[in-house]
Amino acid sequence: MRPLIGVTSYYIGKGEDSERSRGFGRDISVSSMDYLRSLRRVDSTPVPLPVMNDEKYISDIANKFDGFLFSGGADIDPKNYGETLKIFDDPTVSDSIKLVPERDEFELKLLKKAIEKNKPVLGICRGIQLINVYYDGTLKQDLRDSKNVKYNHMPSSSPKWNPIHEVRFEKNSEVRNAYNEERIQVNSFHHQIIDDVGKGLKVTARASDSTIEAIEDPNEKFVVGVQWHPEMMTEKYSKQLKIFQRFVNAIDLD
């Protein structure tokens, strides 16, 4: 019996990129095939989850699915971690900011239910940031606002699978145990980073410039977030499947 994995989706509101996405003014739910293919390759059954802020729906899927992958996407609204949206002098920073409050609300509710029900959780890119915010952590609204960042973590032109920088793993962590290596090369497509780490979370990987690249809750069965996009790398670098395999292995099937 293959575990059933719920994968959160992108949400495109009516009128927003609707013609380009063939939405014709309708709300659209979109899921990247990279997540679904990677999960399928580790013998699980992935299902995209549309954004629907209906309490019964959220409760139903929290009960029905065996694990949840919180995917990448738009920025988390700063109000969710006690801040207001900053105004940056650099217009390219402002152009990078994209908020979808409907998705924030849905995913924070679903994450709460998943953790309460002891369902394994894997967060990728936006997903790691969502986990950190849920645990009362904060984010840097743009990494260019941090003096410590030395790398271009959001290259404008790079193949999705292309390694950009190294990450180093902490001992006795889920990511270290997944990859069975001290460090690996990863891709990078994010303009926000974790600032204050959420309560009870452990930092388990960093880039050489100290940017946080992985976190976990050591008191839960499996609540792990990674900042890079392993799903984009799996077809060219099969080792990137290891984090998906560890996630799926954490699931208990009756």
> Of the given ranges (86-90, 149-153, 242-246), which has the lowest mean pLDDT?
149-153
Taking only the tens place, the pLDDT of each residue in 116-152 is 999 999 999 999 999 999 999 999 998 776 666 656 6
5 has which bridge partners?
A: 46, 67
Q: Is pLDDT above 60 for 17?
A: no
Handedness of CA 40, 45, 50, 52 (dihedral sign): negative
- The mean pLDDT value for 26-35 works out to 91
Total count of domains within the chain:
1
Comparison of pLDDT for 226 and 253, the residue scoring more: 226
Which CATH number does the domain housing residue 173 bear? Answer: 3.40.50.880
In a domain, 142, yes or no: yes
Q: Are 214 and 204 in contact (CB under 8 A)?
A: yes
What's the token pair of residue 157?
A: 């032109």
Q: Are 180 and 213 in contact (CB under 8 A)?
A: no
Taking only the tens place, the pLDDT of each residue in 204-217 is 999 988 999 999 99
Q: What secondary structure letter does DSSP report for 240?
A: G
In a domain, 39, yes or no: yes
As separate numbers, helices (DSSP H) first and strands (DSSP E) second, the chain gives: 7, 13
SS3 (DSSP) at 184? strand
In a domain, 57, yes or no: yes
Residue numbers of the domain that contains 134:
4-249
User: Which residue from 216, 217, 90, 187 is spatially nearest to 145, judged by alpha carbons?
Assistant: 90
In a domain, 254, yes or no: no
Structure confidence at residue 153 as a pLDDT band (50, 70, 90): low
In a domain, 75, yes or no: yes
E strands along the chain, which residues?
4-8, 10-12, 28-30, 45-49, 67-70, 121-124, 139-140, 165-169, 183-186, 193-194, 202-207, 212-216, 223-226
The pTM is what?
0.93
Specify the pLDDT at position 22: 58
d(CA 199, CA 187): 27
